[in-house]
Amino acid sequence: GIQVEQSPPDLILQEGANSTLRCNFSDSVNNLQWFHQNPWGQLINLFYIPSGTKQNGRLSATTVATERYSLLYISSSQTTDSGVYFCAVRRLGGNQFYFGTGTSLTVIP
C-alpha cells in the first residue's frame, strides 16, 4: 500500500486562531481528498486536490504532488471547525484509497 502520515495528531486552538495541517504520503498519487469528520461522525468533503491550490471560504488546501505532501489551512477558526481532519490518497495506477490517521482539532471559545 501507500503510507499516509498526518501531523499534528492533536491540536487545540483558541477561537480565531489559524492553523496548518499536514499530510505526507509515500508514493505518487493522482487523487487526494481532505475530509472533516464532525463530532457526530459524519464525513464531509472539504477538497478534492490532487495538485495545486484551492480555497473555500476560511479553508484552503495546497498539494505539492512532486514532493508528496498536502497542507490544509484553517483561518479564523470557529468552534464548529472542531472534529477530525483526514486526508485520503489514491496511488497512481491504483484503485484503492488510503487514509491517514487524522488530526483531531478542538477549537475553544
Binding site for another protein (CB under 8 A): 1, 4, 31, 33, 35, 41-43, 45, 48, 86, 88, 90, 95-102
How near is the Cβ of 109 to another protein at its closest, in Å? 26
What's the burial of 41, exposed, middle or buried (CB within 10 Å: 0-12/13-18/19+)?
exposed
Q: Which is nearer to another protein, 83 or 100 (CB)?
A: 100
What's the burial of 86, exposed, middle or buried (CB within 10 Å: 0-12/13-18/19+)?
buried
How near is the Cβ of 32 to another protein at its closest, in Å? 11
Q: Which is nearer to another protein, 48 or 55 (CB)?
A: 48
Q: Which is nearer to another protein, 17 or 71 (CB)?
A: 71
How near is the Cβ of 52 to another protein at its closest, in Å? 14
Q: Which is nearer to another protein, 33 or 77 (CB)?
A: 33
**Got the DSSP string for 31-85?**
EEEEEEE-TT--EEEEEE-SSEEEEETTEEEEEEGGGTEEEEEE-S--GGG-EEE
How near is the Cβ of 62 to another protein at its closest, in Å? 18
Q: From the CB of residue 29, how many other CB atoms can be counted at a distance below 10 Å?
A: 23
